[in-house]
Structure 1
């Protein structure tokens, strides 16, 4: 067999110096596998020391390739599909610059589910929130992955109910923070859509609608949660929900009264969890009891804006993604 590479790990980079890039690469190069793998990184005109960090690893490892692209050329969907086209590996493993594998078996665990069934064409890894993650995000992340499957096991997901075809559901949930797919399938069957954002949601939906299987491996774990400030949280949530609306064509109107009601409801639920959370000191519990509701308020304001703004509007002032670009 000419192609002996089992996996390509792809990391898109933009201003990763203070966004855990070096930590991610250090953890990545601690992986222990019984198969050969390589790494492809794209850098989209970073203005910090990202290139210096990447070059440090280039000088140490011969399985790393750097591709420089213009910011204007980057697209979450198109760039990931491009890497599948230029890779020579059997599987493409997608990782973000701020997703840190927590042990040396992460890469092997990302690949292992594919051997279970030939219809498995998507593997989702588990995300563990960082220690400094604010409660609203921490509990959201934990809930999402608790729903995906049981600890220390592989859970398979299919789409059986045609009523949910074309919709985002628990079954189709997918995140390119930590995911994997067969290269041949991406090239010849279903690839990533050329969308600017939420490409992972689209891929998860598309493969289940077509009768394929998603595997969730709770043993493939990365440490990840967005280091986002309160002042930016509304924009982060806006990006997620606006692009889901843009890609799906579905709009869910939310009134300001709903914003208030949901803020109160979910803040109250979190307050109970905060009081029981052994990760927090008493001082932190008091602090988050007052500050966490502000994050919920910004979250629901972002969702409301994403579902009310005209889709033909210039969204630059509302979007964190656009500002970072």
Structure 2
């Protein structure tokens, strides 16, 4: 059987020397990468000229007005002729040399249409976010299908483009990523994979280092955009359990903070959770909000132009 070809697609904005390290790590992978396709926003902000040293790196520049979470990634996908397309963000770093090999192995089963990697926290990650990573990305692999919708609800469609791989043939047949979306293009596409009868695999041996220390306001704005994406695509998300999983995360995190002898973190946890919930609810009801307030709440102002 012929070895599957793989392309990696990475949208960038103001990439720095860390991005060069990412390219270096990708080219050191045990499984060969055919091309690394970089879709960069604003050519004048792209100062990583050393990238031309890599023969397999292709860079396409777009304007800020052209950027869209779904359309930009779809552009990269359609530039690829590989069997497997792997999407990453510029701030996700492979933890070892077997990231691509582990992701590709998931597609040994024809049932799998998508696979996503485990995310480990960065060294400066705060305790609550560190626990959230372990909650969302556990030690053991899992496979999700239509049969899990009643049990997992919206979590069935969880798949993160921080690092995720897709069967290219299936991707094209399902129409790819939504072309205009504020956020959540990965879960929207994942719903198509599940509804087509294929499955999504969480691959715990494919590991990237990636986390953020968001402020409460940043959490509110991020969850506002999440709510907007679900409202704009409610035919996908309507009727799916979502808030139950959020409550379970809060309770598990509170228990963890007490267990490690840091009960004062529970106050911060409840504050962050409150900001997340308010942002999410405002996003779901964005159509009732004045435009000036929407532009204050969103992380993606270009979406509203």
Specify if TM > 0.5. yes
Q: Deviation at 1:4?
A: 8.3
Does 2:244 align with 1:246? no
1:57 to 36, 45, 51: 51
1:128 to 117, 120, 129: 120
Does 2:257 align with 1:274? yes
Q: Deviation at 1:275?
A: 4.0
In the aligned structure 1, how far is the partner of 2:97 from the partner of 2:6? 15
Q: Structure 2 regions of 5+ residues with no counterpart?
A: none
SS in 2 for 1:310: helix
In the aligned structure 1, how far is the partner of 2:269 from the partner of 2:284? 23
Q: 1:23 to 1:289 in 2, by over 3 A?
A: farther
The two structures have a TM-score, normalised by structure 2, of: 0.83
Question: 1:42 matched to which residue of 2?
Answer: 39
2:186 to 200, 203, 227: 200
1:296 to 259, 273, 282: 273
Q: Deviation at 1:267?
A: 6.1
Q: 1:207 to 1:251 in 2, by over 3 A?
A: closer
Q: 1:85 to 1:56 in 2, by over 3 A?
A: same
In the aligned structure 1, how far is the partner of 2:213 from the partner of 2:149? 38
In the aligned structure 2, how far is the partner of 1:266 from the partner of 1:109? 28
Deviates more, 1:176-185 or 1:301-310: 301-310
2:100 to 87, 104, 107: 107
Q: Deviation at 1:211?
A: 0.6
Q: Structure 1 regions of 5+ residues with no counterpart?
A: 253-257
Two-structure CA RMSD over aligned residues (Å)? 3.4
Structure with greater proportional helix content: 2
Q: 1:114 to 1:143 in 2, by over 3 A?
A: same
In the aligned structure 2, how far is the partner of 1:244 from the partner of 1:132? 31
Q: Deviation at 1:32?
A: 2.1
The two structures have a TM-score, normalised by structure 1, of: 0.78
